Chains A and B, each alone.
Chain A
Amino acid sequence: MPSRERGAVALLALLLCQGVSVLPSIAKPALRVGAIPDQNPERLNRLYGQLADELSDRLKVTVRYVPVSNYPAAVSAFRTGGLDLVWFGGLTGVQARLQTSGAKVLAQRDIDARFRSVFIANTSADLQPIQSINGLTSLRGKRFTFGSESSTSGRLMPQHFLAKAGVSPSQFSGGRAGFSGSHDATIALVQSGAYQAGALNEQVWTSALKQGRVNTDKVRVIWRTPEYVDYHWVARPDLDQRFGSGFTTRLQKAILAIQPSTPRQATILELFAAKRFIPAEASQYKPIETVGRQLGKIR
């Protein structure tokens, strides 16, 4: 090999070795707050920053907000330590805690202790308002859609109530239920008539009604489910070791202390569609775990 080529090979080897420098050095600890958001990014980018600032001011640590829009990814990132504090749904929170022993439930919203889903139907689908749970049998043979496959209010609990009434997804038209991907998409698809009926989070339905995003001539509620518990804040077990003893308790207090008193805190509560946060217990989510196991979403 002539020396010029040898030089080129050496240079290439040197350049390739630079790849090692891509491995970053260990940075100072930052509290990584994650959420599985279901709102538009324009609001999120503006509002979640405020939550990070609020927690950072109270706890005197760096707080970074990490948006995750994939449910299993959020659960896995929490388990492997990529996320320290996550705003989980009912089902995903239980999944995350089962996979991460010692994870702590910190808080929920005032509305989460008594959460509901609504079943909606296109007015042309010939579906009457349902009085008791057994009325769900009228959905047999209809085109029906859930929301996202891991959503508690858009899939798990609706499927649970359907099962209670003796309706399985294979009895819908086409032999299965659709999965629209989100609560808003469920409204749009049922309103358009692509699906004749669907189920979604009641809070999203109410706010869509308030904002005039629903054509009530085309789509209406046919049933409200009984109450169940949903969303909660879950913290990783090792926060006290990383940020000093008593940190988890301080974190919980900081979340519970968010009141509509300052503009920033009011904004945060508005983002979460809550009046305040209240303490929550892991035991409250036992029923969700049971339902999750029955439907095969928890193994």
Chain B
Amino acid sequence: MALPRPSAPALALLPALALLPVLITVVAGLHAGGVEILLTCLAAAVHPSLDPALLTALFSALQVTLAMALAGWSLSLVLGVLLGCCASERLLQTWNWPTWPALILRRSLALPRSVHELIWGLLLLQVLGLHPAVAVAAITIPYAALVARVWRDQLEALDPTRLQALLQGGAPPLAACFTALSPAMGTVLMSYGGYRLECALRSATLLGVFGLGGLGTDLQLSLQSLQFRELWSGLWMLGLLSVALELLLTLWRRQTRKAQAGQRRLCLFLAGVIVAGMAGGLWLQVLLPDSGIVVWQGLALPDWRGLTQAAAELPWLPLIVETLLLTVLAAGIAIGLPPLAMLLAPSRFWQVALNPAWALLRLIPPPLTVLLLLLSNRPTLAIGALALGLHNGGVMGRLLREELEQQSVDQQQAMATSGASARLGWLYGLFTPRSPGYLAYGAYRTDVILRETVVVGLIGGSGLGWQLLESLSSFHWDAVVVLIGAYALITLLGEWLSDQCRTRWLQS
């Protein structure tokens, strides 16, 4: 092929180009009309409400959120790993089974993955009623599908020689897989799994709006009534909790790295995940004692005529164009911003200083960002893209930091001693070896951004996401089914595209 092939670091930096059109639009629309409210919000961040009644209420809400997050996280990791193994061609080949079920499973997982937690929650609420299990399942379903995809991709990307050697030596398939794959996959599980816990905490927060309890209701009400001091009390509490969880995980990693062998450490982690899930489930039962049992309350299935009619009524072209534009711009910002920011000054101080910035970006929910940006701007798609991009940029920043921490600094030092500038040393010595992995995470994040377009749809009033919320609030089930189908198709297309790009640009 004569097609030019950009190098991996360029691929990871190029998406930042999305900042250009977005910033141009945003700067062109700037005005000073909302500065007072903006300043109030910023002042509230350093001066949150400390009213004891509020703090008590927030604290009990935080417990519900944490319990939901733990249960959903644990279930989604276990299910995701199992599904990921079933979707892996390599594992099926090890047993000499046909590989087509893996492909079918992999493609059908696009459906649960493409629907946002909030929408899953609303759908499950229809058939299960108001029960904590709804929130747990709403987190588990899309998360398990995402974990399955990551797990499968990592399995396929491993070097197969050890596995083949063991198999040819006559080892039974199960034992061979465990021996050959568990060291590398264990690291993936512990690092990626730890990161999913924080994501689960954010999703559990969001799911509080259904009346199951949890921080979501308080945060949303504070935002709706523009009570910024109360809003920040909740946000800081959430931030403290996620920092505490993160510290616990890091501490555990550091402790066990010295003391335990790899296999044993993995078993410990798995046991921890399962115990955390059960603790979360029991805790929910204690916190919400009168939630009763889950009862399946069937829902009439939409018929074909209704579906085609609903599909004919929707303005597909603008909906899809807006959604894709929003997703692509936001994904560009989210993927390109972290390496760009780190490249600005590769000094140790700047790299450490960036960490709280990423954490803050992750902490602030996109609807709040949209509202704050709108106060001094005009309602455009760019605002939505910027809000989504910044929020997910916080997530990508964290992932990039973890990737870079696993890279040895040998190459960077070699480049420095041979006279390269600090920036070039960082770019080619540290970032380049890690950028394929980072880009893979970027592709998964794009999935998440696509389904998160639901969240900013609220203010922008644009795209498939807003249409989905509008149809849900009209209880127009035919349209909801058709729209979810559209989301799934776009997700599948994105998966196919990213697979193609990866084989063409990053491998071979």
Contacts and interface: CB of A to CB of B under 8 A. Distances in A.
Interface of A: 12, 15-16, 18-19, 21-24, 26-28, 30, 34, 37-42, 44-46, 64, 66-77, 80-83, 95, 99, 122, 143, 145, 149-150, 174, 176-182, 184-185, 188-189, 191-195, 215, 218, 296-299
A69 B291 contact: no
A40 B224 CA distance: 8
A82 B474 contact: no
B211 A77 contact: yes
Contacts of B475: 72, 75, 95, 99, 298-299
B482 interface: no
Contact of A184 (B224, B379, B476): B224
Given A30-B290, A77-B129, A179-B466, A41 B274 contact: no
Contacts of B130: 66, 77, 80, 82-83
B220 A69 contact: yes
Contacts of A41: 54, 57, 217-218, 221-222, 227, 230
B281 A19 contact: yes
Closest 5 CB pairs of A and B: A82-B130, A192-B34, A193-B33, A182-B224, A68-B211
Interface string B439-466: 0000000000000000000111110001
B470 A149 contact: yes
Given A38-B224, A149-B470, A297-B473, A80 B461 contact: no
Contact of B225 (A15, A18, A182): A182
Interface stretch (B353-361, B369-377, B390-398): B369-377
Contacts of B54: 41-42, 45
Interface string B211-232: 1000011101111111100100
Given A76-B125, A179-B461, A194-B374, A188 B34 contact: yes
B140 to A, nearest CB: 13
Contacts of B284: 22
Contacts of B290: 27-28, 30, 64
Contact of B51 (A23, A42, A71, A74): A42
Interface in B239-279: 274-275, 278
B126 A76 contact: yes
A256 B274 CA distance: 51
Contact of A174 (B211, B223, B379, B458): B379
Contacts of A30: 290
B227 A42 contact: yes
A184 B51 contact: no
Given A27-B292, A194-B379, A76 B224 contact: no
Most buried by A among B209, B230, B476: B209
A191 B34 CA distance: 7
A218 B274 CA distance: 56
Given A27-B289, A69-B220, A189 B374 contact: yes
Contacts of B222: 40-41
B381 to A, nearest CB: 10
B221 A73 contact: no
B378 interface: yes
A24 B291 contact: yes
B472 interface: yes
Given A42-B227, A194-B374, A218-B33, A23 B125 contact: no
A42 B49 contact: yes
Given A27-B289, A28-B290, A179-B459, 16 more contacts: A22-B278, A22-B282, A24-B289, A24-B291, A42-B51, A68-B209, A69-B220, A70-B210, A73-B125, A95-B475, A179-B461, A189-B34, A191-B37, A192-B33, A194-B374, A297-B474
29 contacts: A27-B290, A28-B290, A38-B225, A40-B222, A40-B225, A41-B54, A41-B227, A41-B230, A42-B53, A45-B54, A66-B130, A66-B211, A67-B211, A68-B217, A70-B209, A74-B211, A77-B130, A82-B130, A143-B378, A176-B462, A178-B459, A179-B461, A184-B224, A189-B375, A191-B37, A192-B33, A192-B374, A194-B33, A296-B476
B186 interface: no
B474 A185 contact: no
What is the interface of chain B mostly: helix, strand, loop, or mixed? Answer: helix
A165 to B, nearest CB: 20
A185 B371 contact: yes
Contact of A80 (B126, B458, B470): B126
B162 interface: no
Contacts of B344: none
A149 B473 contact: yes
Contacts of B131: 82
Interface in B18-66: 31, 33-34, 36-37, 49, 51, 53-54, 57
B209 A69 contact: yes
Nearest to A11: B271
Contacts of A66: 130, 211
Nearest to B58: A41
A69 B274 contact: no
A99 B297 CA distance: 13
Contacts of B376: 192, 194
Contacts of A82: 129-131, 211
B285 interface: yes
Contacts of B476: 296, 299
A12 B210 CA distance: 33
B460 to A, nearest CB: 7
Interface string B125-164: 1101111000000000000000000000000000000000
B173 interface: no
A46 B51 CA distance: 11
Most buried by A among B49, B122, B374, B473: B473
B294 interface: yes
Contacts of A297: 473-474
B481 interface: no
B494 interface: no
Contacts of B37: 188, 191-192
Contacts of A42: 49, 51, 53-54, 227, 230
Nearest to A62: B290
A193 B376 CA distance: 8
B473 A176 contact: no
Nearest to A204: B225
A73 B125 CA distance: 7
Contacts of A174: 379-380
B293 interface: yes
Contact of A179 (B209, B225, B458): B458
Nearest to B294: A23
B224 A185 contact: yes
A247 to B, nearest CB: 18
Nearest to A92: B473
Contacts of A69: 209, 216-217, 220-221, 224
Nearest to B378: A194
A297 B126 CA distance: 18
B33 A24 contact: no
Given A41-B57, A69-B216, A16 B125 contact: no
Nearest to A45: B57
B456 to A, nearest CB: 11
Contacts of A122: 33
Nearest to A180: B459
